[in-house]
Amino acid sequence: MDEIATQAGVAVGTLYRHFPTKQDLIEAIAEDLGATIAETLDAAVAGIIDGHRTAADEIMDLMRRVVVEMGDERLLRAALSDLAPQVFQAIQAHARESVERMITMAHQAGTLRPDITVDDVILLLTTSPGEQTPKPARLRWLELVRNALTAAK
């Protein structure tokens, strides 16, 4: 808590006034991460509904963000799944619902293979290459995933 207060530029007493226990701080971090993830997913679904993006493009953009841009956040999510399991379960439920909506819309548009399910996309996301994999290999992984998921033209 002392190190966190120092990094935040506040006195440790101030930190404890806002977060009486370490668990309170962890849950606040988890809730903030959950809100950010929910906003991102909700914006993706809204973009599809508004016609600004295709569902297949949004699914692939989600894959790109997770695999290429969110290395540190992936580690944080892994830690939070053990430290704040209830918050993490709520994050997972919202993410699953959003991805399922995107898949349904992609199927309706004929841009995603009809046999692709939400479990397939979640499997790909949870087993995707992490930060230890060089960026060119992660980008190639994304190309392979796009080819595997999208409907033949």
**Of 30, 53, 135, 41, nearest to 95 (Cα)?**
41
CB atoms within 10 A of CB 6: 12
Residues 102-148 have pLDDT tens digits of 999 999 999 999 999 999 999 998 888 888 889 999 999 999 999 99
- The predicted model gives 15-42 an average pLDDT of 88
Assigned domain for 89 exists: yes
State residue 73's pLDDT score.
62
Assigned domain for 106 exists: yes
C-alpha 7, offset from chain centre: 26
Q: Is the pLDDT of residue 98 over 60?
A: yes
Residue 146 CA to residue 101 CA, distance in Å, equals 18
Assigned domain for 127 exists: yes
Residues 45-73 have pLDDT tens digits of 999 999 999 999 999 998 898 888 775 56
What is the band of 25 on the pLDDT scale with cuts at 50, 70, 90? confident
CATH number of the domain where residue 29 is located: 1.10.357
Specify the number of domains making up the chain.
Answer: 1
- 77 lies in which domain range? 22-149
